[in-house]
Each structure stands twice: as C-alpha cells, then as structure tokens.
Structure 1
Amino acid sequence: MGNKKKDSWVIHLLFSLLSFGMIIPFVLVLIASFTDEKAILANGYSFFPAQWSMDAYRYLFISDPGVILRSYGVTIAVTLIGLVLSLLVTSMLAYPLSRGELPLKTALSFFIFFTILFNGGLVSWYLVYSTVWDLRDTIWALIIPNLLLNGFNVLIMRTFFATTIPPALIESAYIDGAGELRIFAQFVIPLSKPVFATIGLFNTLAYWNDWFNSLVFLSKAKFYSLQYLLNMSLLNIQFLSQKSQNASTASLMDMIPQETMRMAMAIIGVGPIILAYPFFQKYFVKGLTIGSIKG
C-alpha cells in the first residue's frame, strides 16, 4: 500500500513538472506581447520586463480592427459548422463499419486505411476542389478540403463503437421496432460522448489552426481565416524589414513593434482555443484510449 502511494506521488510530481514546463513558454509569450518593443530589443525576453506596453495590440486592433474581427468571425463560424458536419459524417461512416453484418466491411475499412497512407497529390487535390466542386472563394473551401473527413478519426470512432456499444442493446432496440436511424440517434450517440468529445477536439483544433485552405482557395479577403491573416501579416512584416533600405521604409518599420507583435499574434491565435479544452477534458482520455484499441 505504501509503495503504491509513493508511486502515485512520483507520477503526480512528474506530470506536474511536465505541465509546468509546457505552461512556462506560453506565459513568457503572453508577457512578451505586453512588453515594450525597446525593452525586448535591449534586454531580451523576460518574465519581469523593464517596461510594459500595449503597442502590439494597439497596432493589430486599432489600425484596422474590422479585418481581425471579421477573420475571427469567419474562423469561429468555420470551426462550429465544420465541427458539427465532421462529427456527423465521421460517425455515420464509422457506425456501419462497426457492425459485423455490413457487406464488404473489410474492403471498406481497408479503403479508409489506405487513404491515411496515400493520397492523389496536391495538384489533383486542388483540381478536384477548385474545378469539379468549384469551391474557390466560398466558405466551403475552409470546411471541406482535408478537414471534413479524416480516416484516422473514422477508425478511432469505429473501434469505439465496436468495443463499447453492447450488441444486445441494438438487438433489443430492433425487437422493440426501432430503425437504424433511431438506434443511432437515441442509443449510440448518447453512449458515445467520450469518443465524440475526443474527435471533436481534434477537429476543433484542425479547423481553428488551418491556414492552408485560405492560401490555396481564397482570393477574397472577406473569407480569410484568422490564422491565414496573422500568417500573412507576419510575412508582410518580414518582407518590409528585409527591404527597409530607404529612409521612409526604415522609419515605418521603426513604428511597428515587430517582436512584440509576433507574440501578440500567437496569443490572439491560440487564446480562444485554449478555452475550449476544458469542455472536452472530461471525456478526452477515455475516448482516446478506448477508441485506439485495435478492433
């Protein structure tokens, strides 16, 4: 009993140190975003800056607040819509694969697994979505390509259904006259909250952090996602700093808090998604561990 208690303390101490080591860099970035640019250039990054400043956030929000707020709205809408649709599509594909009576179950499972290992290449991927489906400059270009359905998530959810949902429950529902859709909606989904929370967290992170779809499919600024806007702003700053040869450009670059603005961009981009994690934490570990067992 004493050895178990000692081992428990060692594990708690180890994970506390790991958690502390992961939190410290984020805290440093947060503090640096509120530090004066000249203080960072003179003293470097510090947990106790010599001078505080809001210049980075003023530059990002006050210079043109509508752009960032619009991008926030686009990213939030894309994340919410994409999360609901991706969970719906993934679960409706995974549930039949978990049933033993599905015809060609092995072939379909192999096809899904094959898509994890191989793809058709970037050119064919772009032609399908831009020419065949014509998703360019639409909000669907941020929802469907590469994000709506993932083979890895399908296999995790299929394994969870196969190992967690009792076959006797489905048989009894059949006897009572329930159809497939009613069984799935009223019995399978309520019993599968852990795996839905796990896949939901994966999809939320994927949609929130995506910038590549905006780069490839969008030319209209009104559909730019937050991550793409921040990435584009950072590249523009780097370009101007490299080309700041004449006096006017150099004076302009002196007005821009480059280092602190990079930190502010990181906080703006990652801040809201951190708030979503506690809502998934209750079911996350259970859904991941059960769903990852080979089915």
Structure 2
Amino acid sequence: MNKGTKTSRAIINGIFTLYSLLCIIPLLLVFSISFSDETSIVANGYKLIPEVFSLKAYDVLFKDFSQILYSYGISIFVTVVGTILGVMLTAFYAYPLSRQDLPYRNGFAFFIFFTMLFGGGLVPWYLVYVNLLDLKNSVWVLIIPLLMSPFFVLVMRTFFSSSIPASILESARIDGAGELKIFSKIVLPLSLPVLATVALFSTLNYWNDWYLSMIFISDNKTISLQYLMYRTLLDIQFLTSNSNVASQISSAGGGNILDLPNKTLQMAMAVVGVGPIVLAYPFFQRYFIKGLTVGAVKG
C-alpha cells in the first residue's frame, strides 16, 4: 500500500468517524439530560455529563407504570401488525402494477397516484372510521389509516419493474409455475431490499404516531405510548405555567406541582420512546445486506 492510498484512507476514515460522532453525541446528550436535575439544567444549560444526577424525570414518567406498560403493548402490537399487513398489501398492489400485461394497469396506477395528491378532508375521513366502520376506541383504528402509502406503492412498483428481469418470470411460467408461486418464490426473495426499506419506514410511522390516538381514542385502554407521553407532557406544561391551578392542587395534597421537571422529562420520554426503534434497525439492516446478495451472479 503506497503513501497516497494510506493518506486517502485515513482522510475517509476520519470523515466517517466525525460523522458518526455527530450522530451519536446528540443521543448521548438526550440520555444524559434525562438523568440530570431540572434545576441544574435551567441554571447551567445542557451538559454531556450530568452535573447533578437525578431520577426525578423517570419517577414522574413512571408514576402510573401499569398504564405505561399497557400503552407500550398497544404500540408494539400496532407497529408489528401494521407493518406486516402494510408491507404485504403494498407488495400485492405494486407487483401487478409492474406487469405490462395487467388489464387497466394505467387506471389502477392513476387511482393510487390520485389518492397521494388529493384527500377528502378531516371531517369525512373521521366519519368514515367512526360512523361507517365503527372503529372508534378500537386498536384497528390505529392500524388501518396508515396501512398503505401511495408513495410506497409507487416505489415498490418501480423496483419490481426495474430490478426483476422479465426473462426470469417468463422462464418460471414456461416451467409451469403459477402467478402466486412466481410472486412468492421468485419476486419476493429478489425484492428484500425494497421490502425491508418499506417495512422500516412503516415501522417508524406506526411507532411515532400519536395523532390517531388523539383523534379516535377517548379512553385510556387503547392509547399509544407516544400519545400517553405527549399528553403527560402537556399536562405538566399546563400546571407549571398556571401557578393558580398548581397552588390549588398543592394545597389539596397533590404535592408541589411547580417542582415537576419539564426539560428533563422531555428527554426521558425520548429515551423511553426510542428504545424499540434502535433495536429494530439492525434487524432490517441484516435484510438489506441479505437482499442485495440474493440472486447475485458471479462474473
């Protein structure tokens, strides 16, 4: 290895090391602030190492541990089931659109593209799920609205059209394979990169969603973890910004509301909410690599 190659490699390694640090340090800062004392944060700002260690943010957050555990289960169920069903339906719709011999192919493609540009509005959308489908306060109302994305359908259709050789499909058809067998045994194994990509983004959409719980859920049995934490944060911000209400609660035996954490609680919520996603990404990354090597031809 010559000197120029060593220098280039050192520069590239340095750039990627710096970029990795820029990605990791904010996460470490969030983790550190969540274990810091609120008073020290307000007085001295954010520190990478806590000046005063405190678990008060987590004590407030886990005050109702059973509700958090239940909401965690709801979020995990919605994310897993929604992602699996969403990827399946997206693939089932995108693959026929990639076939040139599909009757009314352009009409089906226009239908899915039109829904990406125009919507019926909030009120009709709400009435469909509440009055027509009767899904209010149901766990399925947290799954169905995010089940299919027109953008993901178009992305997957493009992948099927450009990355799956037509000659392979024709050879399988000559050998007597049906459409379902071709799709399950040939198309899906060769499409793991796009399937994993869509699954990852679907997982993020489901896990980070709190809006559907706010719109459709009116009890505590079916709310997601994200909406539970969002509502807790709003309640604390309201109490800390309204001294009269806080004084009344404190005088009634509710403790000193004004001492409740705010900044540290936000970071504690981020730590609690980001955990499953951090663990899920390596799983999808493995399938990215596997999908890129399936069907490879040696030169």
Matches within 5 A, 1:262-273: 262-273=266-277
Contact 1:196 1:287 in 2 (8 A): no
Aligned twin of 1:122: 122
Q: Distance in 2 between matches of 1:8 and 1:203?
A: 36
Matches within 5 A, 1:39-188: 39-61=40-62, 63-145=63-145, 147-188=146-187
Moved more, 9-18 or 135-144: 9-18
User: Gaps (5+ residues) in structure 2?
Assistant: 293-299
Aligned twin of 1:252: 256
Rate the CA distance shift 1:177–1:21 in 2: closer, same or farther, 3 A: same
Amino acid at match of 1:143: I
Contact 2:247 2:257 in 1 (8 A): no
CA positional deviation for 1:30 = 0.5
| Cα offsets for 1:46-103 (capped at 9, x unmatched) | 1122221112112222x21001000000000000000110011000000001111011
Number of corresponding residues:
286
Aligned twin of 1:231: 230
User: Gaps (5+ residues) in structure 1?
Assistant: 289-295
Q: Distance in 2 between matches of 1:248 and 1:234?
A: 20
Asked whether 1:281 is paired with 2:285, we answer yes
Contact 1:201 1:280 in 2 (8 A): yes
CA positional deviation for 1:231 = 0.5
Q: Distance in 1 between matches of 2:156 and 2:5?
A: 34
Q: Distance in 2 between matches of 1:116 and 1:22?
A: 32
Contact 1:90 1:149 in 2 (8 A): yes
| Cα offsets for 1:192-235 (capped at 9, x unmatched) | 11111000000000000001110111112110001100100011
Q: Distance in 2 between matches of 1:186 and 1:21?
A: 42
Q: Distance in 2 between matches of 1:247 and 1:153?
A: 51
Aligned twin of 1:37: 38
TM-score (norm 1): 0.89
Partner-residue secondary structure (3-state), 2:243: coil
Moved more, 212-221 or 99-108: 99-108
CA positional deviation for 1:258 = 2.3
Q: Distance in 1 between matches of 2:10 and 2:115?
A: 43
Contact 2:76 2:207 in 1 (8 A): yes
Q: Distance in 2 between matches of 1:127 and 1:13?
A: 55
Partner-residue secondary structure (3-state), 1:221: coil
Q: Distance in 1 between matches of 2:3 and 2:160?
A: 39
Contact 1:68 1:226 in 2 (8 A): yes
Contact 2:192 2:290 in 1 (8 A): no
TM-score (norm 2): 0.88
Partner-residue secondary structure (3-state), 1:190: helix
CA positional deviation for 1:111 = 2.3
Amino acid at match of 1:191: L
What is the root-mean-square deviation of aligned Cα atoms in Å? Answer: 2.3
